[in-house]
Structure 1
Amino acid sequence: MITSQEAKPTLFYLVRPPKIQTGKPPLLILLHGVGGNEQDMFSLANSLPEKFLVVSVRGPLTLGPDSYAYFRVDFSTGRPIINEKEAESARVSILRFLEDLKQKETFDEKKVYLMGFSQGGIMSYSVALTEPEKIKGIVVMSGRLLPEIKPLVAINERLSKLKVYISHGSQDNVLQVQYAYDAVNYLKAKGISPLFHEYLESHTISEAMLKDVTIWLDQIVNSQQ
């Protein structure tokens, strides 16, 4: 439930129009990692499937010049400790942004996808698993599923149609690949069958990762015609 007290202003974003014109294109929202900005993920836009309206969002929290996040996180203990209030505010902000976007861009509201790297992947899980009727599928690249979000996750029946793609590097020293294994097991317990690809990579998006994601997105959107 989004209340007026919880809602934040519309987030800043960049747009790549669909290269193949349709009446209402599917929407792909890109979410960057902590300390990044909307340009980071937007640099991938021209490599993504041509049917999508691609929107790259800037996180609501300013860390410094051209440096943004969805919430603050502390790694000083050796494991990530999040600012839970900021993480929840960001989840609500993305849902509010999606509602606002309907007034500004033309897209198929039944074909909305989220694609996030690192903290953007975290937010993709948090939004889709709590409001699965609004999100058709997610791509989580080098992310993790917050334990703090699990009490808010929808019941299995509501999650049954959600499509999930996970990619992670086995050499990731920021968010270890174990987070991906844990997420896969959790999703399977919720009745979701995620597609998981592991790569001999660090905390990054490699050309191979992007190529495989693009193939999956193409297959998903074409299967819905």
Structure 2
Amino acid sequence: MARQLRAEQTRTAIITAAADLFDRRGYESTSLSDIVEHAQVTKGALYFHFAAKQDLAHVILELQSRNLQRLAAEMGSRGTTALEALIRTTFAMARLFVEGPVPRAGLRLATDGLALPPAVPHPFTQCLEFTTRTLHAAVKETDLHTDIDVEAAAHSLVSSLVGTRVVGHHLEPVTRHPRRLAEMWHLLIRGMVTVPRRARYLSLVTQLEREIRTV
């Protein structure tokens, strides 16, 4: 049992170290030797868990996919409106970006054009499907303008989410991300949300950003 626990701790350390390096340097600029040194493990320990660098990247992307599924399900089960669930999901992901390297690396890998195995959905496809489905529900709940092009809105929203983090990665610390996310939502809400519902969602965004900053 103790050996199994140590093995799991070693595997987690390797994934975390790889994620940190992938996020900061990029996939191509990170070697297995770099990961071994950063994780403070032996090469034998790394190869026991992962046969190649690509396997590590796939695990990180799979964890990213599970995170999104988990958060979307959790926020959707609260009995809130669809739009609130979507906003809360984006801020929950922002919290993960601030707290650890694995979610950040997942996004970095997704933008690096890494080939994925069939079992792992591309993060952007997954985000688009979730966002499109949620915005359709928000239109039915009359939170969004009825003449909105949902597919176009979903594509713009996901592109804004990804772009906000990609630009921020190069220009400012990750702790600034919740502020940029709030700025993005303030613009989108004013363009998409019906006037009677607007104040509620602007207030929600301000609250969620504050909660992350005070953690």
Question: Normalised by the size of structure 1, how large is the TM-score?
Answer: 0.33
Question: Normalised by the size of structure 2, how large is the TM-score?
Answer: 0.34
Higher helix share: 2
Greater length-normalized contact order (CA 8 Å, ≥ 6 residues apart): 2
